Amino acid sequence: MHTFRKALITGGSGFLGKAMVRELQRCGFDVFIFDREYSKEANHLRGDIMNPNDVSAAIKGCDIVFHIAGLLGTSELIEQNKEAVNVNILGTVNILEACIHHGVQRFFYPTKPNEWRNTYSITKKAGEEFAAMFYDIHGLDVRILRWLNAYGPGQKALPVRKAVPVMIIQALMNQDITVWGTGEQPVDLIFTEDLAKISVAFTLADALDATVRDTGLTHRLTVNALAGMIISLTHSQSRIVHKPMRVGEDQNKPVELLPNQDVATLLHRSESGTPLEEGMRQTIQYYQSLPPSTLQRVINFYKE
């Protein structure tokens, strides 16, 4: 049985990091956030995962580390290869080495399906392999979970393009909704709070191990169906407009779920996820609450 009390989340100020913080606090943890954001909160440690001294100081005394920080994007990172390698690979190695040095009991790493050959996929896969290596060689209790397409209130719409927030904003502004490729490629959506709950439960479950698993609690639909749902729920006059796939993305290589059981099924939580329409309504309400100028800024940013 674990005796975790103090948890560190790298990237804890981000969209998914915040959800993880809320869930860990709900579970009674003393949660510390480590990232480059500035904050006056006592449990916020400002630093850079690229700086081993910052990392070591943040991890010292922690029982469990959730490494969420990273450089995001698919086509956005094609011209940022070195920076992505430094942040997503070297930064992850810095975290892993500090975990060994300070005797961290358990380490969580979110990876992603690697069907697409782009900078983000390659660097996340490398981070996954380093985590597995530290399990094999150093005995670090590692948990690796494939995060698919998380959505929910508070997700940033720029500068990294995410389908749900951008589509919702386009619909609210009655602008054309951009769909890359035919739109018949599947997308697996998971509500942010569900993702946080299952990730924490997975990491705390003593019976599980370093086997890479899917989260479960996802809803699969086509990109066209997603756009259509958003148009319907927002009562929008938007049209769906198809454009060629972006660099680094391939509609002919959809995400294939892993053959082993997903974590939600293993933990007997497969029926406890947020219904897609309910989650989408909550998400739409968030963007509806934003100032029109904020929505227009997103529209202007993505003008073709």
The domain that holds 68 is classified in CATH as: 3.40.50.720
Q: What is the pLDDT of residue 283?
A: 98
Contact present, 107 and 99 (Cβ < 8 Å) = yes
Other beta carbons within 10 Å of 217: 24
Q: What is the pLDDT of residue 166?
A: 97
Same domain? For 242 and 110 the reply is no
- Whether residues 300 and 154 share a domain: the answer is yes
Mark whether 27 and 133 lie in a shared domain.
yes
Q: Both 133 and 167 in a single domain?
A: no
Residue at token pair 């930064």: 91
Domain range for 108 is 1-146
Q: Is 203 contained in some domain?
A: no
Alpha helices in the chain (DSSP H): 15-26, 52-59, 81-84, 91-101, 119-138, 163-172, 192-204, 223-234, 263-266, 276-288, 292-301
Please identify, among 113, 146, 179, the residue that sits at the C-terminal boundary of a domain. Answer: 146
239 φ/ψ angles, rounded to the nearest 5 degrees:
-105, 155
Residue 213 in domain: no
160 and 304 housed in the same domain: yes
- Give per-10-residue mean pLDDT for the chain (304 aa): 85 95 95 92 92 97 96 85 95 98 97 86 95 96 95 94 96 96 94 97 93 94 97 98 86 85 91 94 98 96 82
What is the pLDDT, as a whole number, of residue 248? 80
Cα–Cα distance, 181 to 221 (Å, whole number): 15
228 and 142 in a single domain? The answer is no
For the record, the structure tokens of 59 come out as 């991890």
254 within a domain of the structure (yes/no)? yes
> Whole-model pTM?
0.94
Tally of domains within the chain:
2
Judge whether 131 and 92 are in contact, CB under 8 Å: yes
Q: Are the beta carbons of 217 and 194 closer than 8 angstroms?
A: yes
Please check whether residues 158 and 256 belong to one and the same domain.
Answer: yes
Q: Is residue 195 part of a domain?
A: no
Q: Are 60 and 157 in the same domain? A: no
Phi, psi dihedral angles at 221 (to 5 degrees):
-155, 170
15, amino acid identity: F
In this structure, what CATH number is given to the domain that contains residue 256?
3.90.25.10
